[in-house]
Amino acid sequence: MSTSSENQRVLFGAGVRHSLSEEVSRLGCARALILSTPPQSSSALDIAADLGGLSAGVFSKAAMHTPTHVSEEAVQHAREVNADCVVAVGGGSTTGLGKAIALRTGLPQIVIPTTYAGSEATPILGQTEGGVKTTLTDKKVLPDVVLYDPELVVTLPVGMTITSALNAMAHAAEALYARDKDADSTNLAIGGLRSFANALPDVLRAPDDIAAREETLRGAWACGAVLGRVGMALHHKLCHTLGGTFDLSHADTHAIVLPHAIHFNEQAVPELLKPISDLLDGSSPGLALWRFAKDLDAPMSLKDIGLVESDLDRATEVALGKPYWNPREITAEGIRELLQNAWDGTAPIH
Ligand code: NAD
């Protein structure tokens, strides 16, 4: 089954990865370079074997945060093997490498996502050079085709399944109050949240439940697509700050901070955030997200992922450093309290 999207062909279904040859030919290509991280090279080799004569081999050096030296090596390799398109098999890191190659060469891209990060649905690319991460938005990096095959996500470890899903839900939650939102983006965000609210508990009960995995992939696409359409606010800025300054895990930080950031903002825009309450347990949006995460056994406190309490003042300072739009006024006191609660892991209650 397909989902229409501006400038992107999106297919869902168990086994849909086996239609890759058709998709490569459809793009007018005949030499696809398959990309993966080192741990997913066997999946990439399987895909290459399936492609037969349309495969130009496998490049398995994708890494977190898209280091430019890896992208340059991949571009060189793509030229050497005369690749005329790239196929990223993996999560956001591998998709990032495909986007980086497309940016530098104009080669078309197909993505077969294996996490819920949602990068495949955005024209956004974050790249790292000399330890500094910069982000760009360019239509050239939006993948041409996405094949969402739930059979490839069943191997995603439970811990990553939870944090990757909450990371995706964070895009949709902030899209509900984005300054540039419209009816379409709001519907997309609600659809993404609904898919995860309905299917994630089933996935955790039975990680190989293909129907539930497919529903979560639909959520990943919707949450990614909305991230590509509207601007994010406090939650994403806080996670960027915490991740960049204190080297905390990207997905864990999102999972922990989300209920607290939404709790902070619900005091300014309660009506816009009401869909979260309606989709979860009916309690206030931040608390509903906190309970949802706790029931899933998600990481709940910043202290458990390596932040020390004495860093909270510095984190507040950095978070206030560069002003940005948010539906509620950001104050030092408000951010310090939010971060303390996220550090303690206590329920966000008024
Ligand atoms: P990831 O791609 O780094 O994957 C994490 C690890 O899990 C890797 O070792 C990977 O090989 C492994 N893995 C992935 N899928 C698996 C599966 N099904 N089974 C077993 N192992 C599997 O992690 P991610 O969270 O998907 O992506 C994070 C990156 O994506 C970050 O760099 C983030 O900034 C970026 N991102 C970008 C955008 C965008 O729009 N540009 C959006 C979201 C995330």
330 CA to centre of ligand 1 in angstroms: 30
- The arithmetic mean of pLDDT across residues 212-226, rounded, is 98
Query: Could you tell me the two tokens for 83?
Result: 């690749």
Q: What is the 3-state secondary structure (H, E, C) of 101-129?
A: HHHHHCCCEEEEECCCCCHHHCCEEEEEE
Instruction: Give the pLDDT score at 243.
Output: 84
pLDDT digits (tens, 9 = 90+) for 119-142: 999 999 999 988 788 899 999 999
Distance CA 219, CA 194 (A): 7
Which position has the token pair 């992939």?
217
What percent of the chain lies above the pLDDT cut of 70? 98
Distance 23 CA to ligand 1 centre (A): 23
Contact 161, 206 (CB under 8 A): no
Q: Is the pLDDT of residue 3 over 80?
A: no
Q: pLDDT value at position 17?
A: 98
| Contact present, 298 and 158 (Cβ < 8 Å) | no
Q: For 62-89, what is the mean pLDDT?
A: 97
Give the mutation target among 58, 64, 229, 242 for probing the ligand 1 site: most ligand atoms within 8 A of CB. 64
Ligand 1, residue 153: give the atom nearest the CA.
18
Average pLDDT, the chain: 95
Cα–Cα separations (whole angstroms), residue 327 to 261, 262, 347: 11, 11, 22
**Ligand 1 atom 5, closest CA:** 91
Could you tell me where in the chain the CATH 1.20.1090.10 domains are found?
Answer: 158-344
Site of tokens 């989902």: 3
Q: What is the mean pLDDT of residues 314-335?
A: 93
Q: Tell which residue, 161, 169, 196, has the closest CA to residue 273.
A: 169
- Rounded mean pLDDT, 322-329: 92
Q: Which of 184, 276, 278 is nearest to 235 (CA)?
A: 276
Q: In angstroms, rounded to a whole number, what is the distance separating the alpha carbons of residues 200 and 202?
A: 5
Residue 132 is predicted with a pLDDT of 81
The amino acid at 2: S
CB of 28 sitting under 6 A from ligand 1: no
31-55 as b/e, with b when 16 or more CB fall inside 10 Å?
A: bbbbbbbeebbebbbebbeebeebb
The verdict on the CB of residue 251 being under 6 Å from ligand 1 is: yes
Q: What is the CATH number of domain 158-344?
A: 1.20.1090.10
* DSSP letter string, 149-160: -GGGTTTS-HHH
CA–centroid distance, residue 91 to ligand 1 (Å)? 3
152 CA distance to ligand 1 centroid (A)?
13
Q: Which amino acid is residue 84, in one-letter code? A: D
What CA–CA distance (Å, rounded) separates 60 from 321?
38
CATH 3.40.50.1970 domain extents, the chain: 2-152
Q: Check residue 5 and give its pLDDT.
A: 60
| Band of residue 193 on the pLDDT scale cut at 50, 70, 90 | very high
What average pLDDT does the segment 75-94 reach? 98
Which residues does residue 86 pair with via DSSP β-bridges, in sequence order?
33, 109
What is the whole-number distance in angstroms between the Cα of residue 339 and the centre of ligand 1?
25
Radius of gyration of the chain (CA): 20
Is residue 161 within 8 Å of 167, Cβ to Cβ? no
Average pLDDT over residues 161-167: 97
Determine the distance separating the centroid of ligand 1 and the alpha carbon of 36, expressed in angstroms: 10
3-state DSSP helix/strand/coil % of the chain, to nearest 5: 60, 15, 30
Question: For residue 271, how far is its CA from the centre of ligand 1 (angstroms)?
Answer: 33
- Residue 329 pLDDT > 70: yes
Amino acid code (one letter) for 304: D
pLDDT over 70 (residue 1): no
Q: Is 115 in the pocket of ligand 1 (CB under 6 A)?
A: yes
pLDDT of residue 321: 86
Confirm or reject: Cβ of 124 under 6 Å from ligand 1. yes
Architecture of the domain made up of 2-152 = 3-Layer(aba) Sandwich (3.40)
Q: Give CA 53 to chain center in angstroms.
A: 32
H or E, element range at 35: strand 32-35
Name the residue with the closest Cα to ligand 1, atom 2: 91
Alpha-carbon dihedral angle through residues 239, 243, 244, 247, given to the nearest 10 degrees: 170
pLDDT in tens, 253-270: 999 999 999 999 999 999
- State which amino acid sits at residue 329: E
pLDDT tens readout for residues 316-325: 998 898 888 9
- 232: tokens are 């994010």
Nearest atom (ligand 1) to Cα of 154? 18
Whose alpha carbon is nearest atom 35 of ligand 1? 92
